[in-house]
Chains A and B, each alone.
Chain A
Amino acid sequence: MFKNIAFLLFFVSQFIHSQETIKGIVTDENNQPLTGANVFWYNTSIGAITNEKGEFLIEKSTETNLLVVTYIGFETKKVEITSNSISVVLKEVNTLKEVVVSKTQKGTEHSLYKVQNIQVMGQKELLKAACCNLSESFSTNPSIDVNFSDAVTGNRQIKMLGLTSPYILIAEENIPSVRGASQAYGLTFVPGTWVESIQITKGAGSVINGYESISGQINYEVLKPVNDIPFFLNVYGSQDSRYEINTHFNNKFTDKLSSTLFLHGNTRQNRNDMNNDGFLDGPIGKQVNILNRWQYNDAENGIVSFLNVRYMNDEKQAGEMSFNPDIDRLTTNAWGSEINTEKIEISNKTGYVFPDMPYQSFGFQNSFQSHKQDSYFGLSQYDIHQKSFYSNLLFNSIINNTKNKFTTGLNFTYDDYNEFVDVNFSRDFSRIDNSVGAFFEYTYDNSDNFSLVAGARVDNHNRLGTFITPRLHLRYNPWENAVVRASAGRGKRAANIFAENQQLLASNRNFSILNNEGKLYGLNPEIAWNYGLSFIQKFKLVGKDAEVILDYYRTDFQNQAVVDIDASPQDVLFYNLKENSFANSFQAEFSIDLMTHLTFKTAYKYYDVQTQFTRGQLQKPLQAKHRVFGNLAYETHIKDKGQQWKFDVTYNWLGQQRMPFTQNNPMEYRLDEYAPSFGTLNAQITKTFSSTFEVYVGGENMTNYKQKNGIIQNENPFGTYFDSSLIYGPTFGAMYYAGLRFKIK
């Protein structure tokens, strides 16, 4: 009897149970089941989770007939239950799509949430420029313009917002690296394979790294030994007989201590003269570059420390094909130039994060650098040896909570310059510069749609005096997937007029400094204000992820060390700015992921850079007013063993550029007032055979555009009119290269 009742009860309970259960299925808009979706009665804790078929069972509730269905990445849906079975279709949310995009890692990332206008170029982007050093890494980035500085040394110069590299603060892991003596060739002394990522900040940067930045900051991070692979090899060779080799050896000694040895060598020995001007197209020479990097990581105690020891020796020879330095050096037998540079660097940085306060930390950076350049250009000589010491102590913490952060600290810079210039005059400009500064930077973030960084620093410099550098950055997200940024700031610097304008030494111009009351070669410090406005909108265009970026920046000089090559084609004048000098730049960029793995990016750039020269208020020479950039990148889907193809094409179009004044030269040595517009095309194909081995081939300047008469009076380089510095485009034609990368993981 008892058994029967029990059986009956069991049966009844089963019966009741099945009556009160709702059965359902959850799918997305494409009718694909959603596994693990959360289903629960509104305002209760009674819920269920869908199985792998998207199905769920839930007991009927006595409190409500409203069922809520949620799934990450989809819109939450509230449905009224009227029957015992239901099917729910969830709509995908766009905002989460954005998270997915950032995970597929673009080559260059534009943040919607950082306060400053910073773009991060990752490894993927850096590999698009196969060769070879930092000065060539920016060819696929529309924010930075790269051009040749002269027809002799093959050196590339970078520009940002229409201003050349001296106005950009270039730092290696936040320690200023390309400055002073290394301004002209410094970027070519950093092999591309050493670089982990590059951060490009447009406009007034942070006050933490100093007062010198005017148009922007470029910071590059070197590979960290703790994440590095045991062995890396890169070999490169090009049609113009340039060969490069990079090897990295990594060893992890303990779980805390690791080290990488970076070895780089490059050489070019063949004498090429593809444009038949009697001069070498590119310099011949060699470079040895060694970096040993140690990292100590103690996560438990919050300590990270790096030690870098580096040695670099670079030798370049340029000039006429027949030039033999042993016999012809500093004679009029043949025109030639040698530039020999030796660099030694030791740096350390240590960070300490308070274990119980993840938002509070100390940082201490110290760097010693010796940069020695001995060089001659025809009959002119230029030697500079800079020994510098840089020290920076930082403290990061919060005020009340992490919505209010601050960084404060002290830094110290010491520069001992031994500089000797022998041009139309001969003078020793040796000097010692030093500065001490203190800074404070406050960051407010409402953890939603607004943040600001306000910083200021006070410095005392033996030549620049005591001065304040204020900087301000704002960020606001007015609506979804959009950001507006504004910035303003002041910069001040001591121009190294000879080191920064070395390309002019490859001419027969007479150098004159028109002022003599200043403390910097007779000139006053350069002071400029930079203001910027930027807008980014990410959106979907016919279902494809797209992005529009609009940037406007203005730099206003209060004083500038004006370099005037317009007064006469036989002169270069340096003088303090009279009246106006400014640079306006506008950039519109559009990119779209046309299909999976196919990205198109295009940009239009407008520059209006004017200075008051002796000949009047003029556009800066050798600067295109209009520029167009286009890049198409495609990669195949990565197969099991890592096999993949990658294709990358970059097109650059430069509008007319004003050429410096040459109208009082004899007829045959005159240039047109404006250089013609032209376009160049670069392309690269990479074939990855496995995750450890890949080869690449590519071409630069494939449209084969050549500037004619790159060197004025090349037939008589000791004549009055000789000038190789009036370069607006490539001086030799297409160049093809190939290389390979091999890794041991």
Chain B
Amino acid sequence: MKRIVLLVLACFFTLTMVAQEKKSKNKKVEIEVAGNCGMCEKRIEKAAYSVKGVKNAEWHSDHKTIHLVIDETKCSAEDVAKAIAAAGHDTGSVKALDDVYEKLHGCCLYERMK
């Protein structure tokens, strides 16, 4: 029994170690981000760059996604999503607050995400 526990523990350890090793310094991530126009693009990218560890951020209005290259040892995709939402744009995982959304410029009023 002890052996099995040890084995399981060992397995668990190696697994987490593998998971940790997989933290890439140049991880490509795509996040859904709602928006309309060129002003949105600037706001979204600016918010993404404000997160330490974001190396490259390009938002595409046609697909409503942001293509990121991030250093996973410094930040996560979730951190970036939070920063973008805080700037007023809904993302796949984090939504913007209504009062921030309402302050956006007239041309940036996008359809809210579910």
Binding site for B on A (CB under 8 A): 38, 40, 42-45, 47, 68, 70, 72, 75-76, 78, 93, 95, 354, 356-359, 398, 400-403, 447-448
Would you give the shortest CB distance from B58 to chain A, in whole angstroms? Answer: 9
Q: Given A40-B111, A76-B109, decide whether A447 and B46 contact each other with a Cβ distance below 8 A.
A: yes
Whether B76 is near chain A, meaning CB under 8 Å from some CB there, is no
Q: Other CB < 8 Å A-B pairs besides A76-B37, A402-B56, 11 of them?
A: A43-B98, A44-B111, A70-B107, A70-B109, A76-B109, A359-B69, A398-B56, A400-B52, A447-B42, A447-B46, A448-B42
Within B19-78, which residues are at the interface with A (CB < 8 Å)?
A: 24, 26, 28, 36-38, 42, 45-46, 49, 52, 54-57, 61, 69
B101 lies within 8 A of A43 (CB): yes
Chain B interface helix/strand/loop/mixed: mixed
* Residue of B46, B102, B108 touching A76 (CB-CB under 8 A): B108
Whether B11 is near chain A, meaning CB under 8 Å from some CB there, is no
A45 lies within 8 A of B55 (CB): no
A76 lies within 8 A of B106 (CB): yes
Q: How many B residues touch the partner, as a band?
A: 20 to 34
B55 lies within 8 A of A398 (CB): yes
1/0 contact trace for B91-111 toward A, CB 8 Å?
000000010011000111111
B112 lies within 8 A of A45 (CB): yes
19 contacts between A and B (CB under 8 A): A43-B102, A43-B112, A45-B112, A45-B113, A70-B109, A76-B108, A76-B109, A95-B38, A356-B26, A356-B28, A398-B56, A401-B49, A401-B56, A401-B57, A402-B57, A403-B49, A447-B46, A447-B49, A448-B46
Whether B114 is near chain A, meaning CB under 8 Å from some CB there, is yes
Q: How far does the alpha carbon of A354 sit from the alpha carbon of B111 in the complex, in Å?
A: 37
A78 lies within 8 A of B28 (CB): no
Q: How far does the alpha carbon of A70 sit from the alpha carbon of B49 in the complex, in Å?
A: 27
B24 lies within 8 A of A356 (CB): yes
Task: Point out the residues of chain A lying under 8 angstroms from B102, CB to CB.
Answer: 43
**Nearest opposing residue in chain B for A48, CB measure:** B111
* Residue of B26, B69, B111 touching A38 (CB-CB under 8 A): B111
**Nearest opposing residue in chain A for B58, CB measure:** A402
Q: Which 4 A-B pairs have the closest CB atoms?
A: A40-B111, A45-B112, A402-B56, A76-B107
Would you give the shortest CB distance from A95 to chain B, in whole angstroms? Answer: 7
Task: Point out the residues of chain A lying under 8 angstroms from B52, CB to CB.
Answer: 400
Would you give the shortest CB distance from A361 to chain B, in whole angstroms? Answer: 13
**Nearest opposing residue in chain B for A447, CB measure:** B45
Q: How far does the alpha carbon of A43 sit from the alpha carbon of B45 in the complex, in Å?
A: 22
Q: Given A45-B112, A358-B69, A398-B55, decide whether A76 and B38 contact each other with a Cβ distance below 8 A.
A: no
**Nearest opposing residue in chain B for A71, CB measure:** B36
Q: Which of B37, B54, B102 has the most CB of A within 10 A?
A: B37
**Nearest opposing residue in chain A for B95, CB measure:** A45
Q: Given A40-B111, A78-B109, decide whether A402 and B36 contact each other with a Cβ distance below 8 A.
A: no
A75 lies within 8 A of B107 (CB): yes
Q: How far does the alpha carbon of A44 sit from the alpha carbon of B34 in the complex, in Å?
A: 12
**Nearest opposing residue in chain A for B114, CB measure:** A45
**Nearest opposing residue in chain B for A75, CB measure:** B107
B56 lies within 8 A of A358 (CB): yes
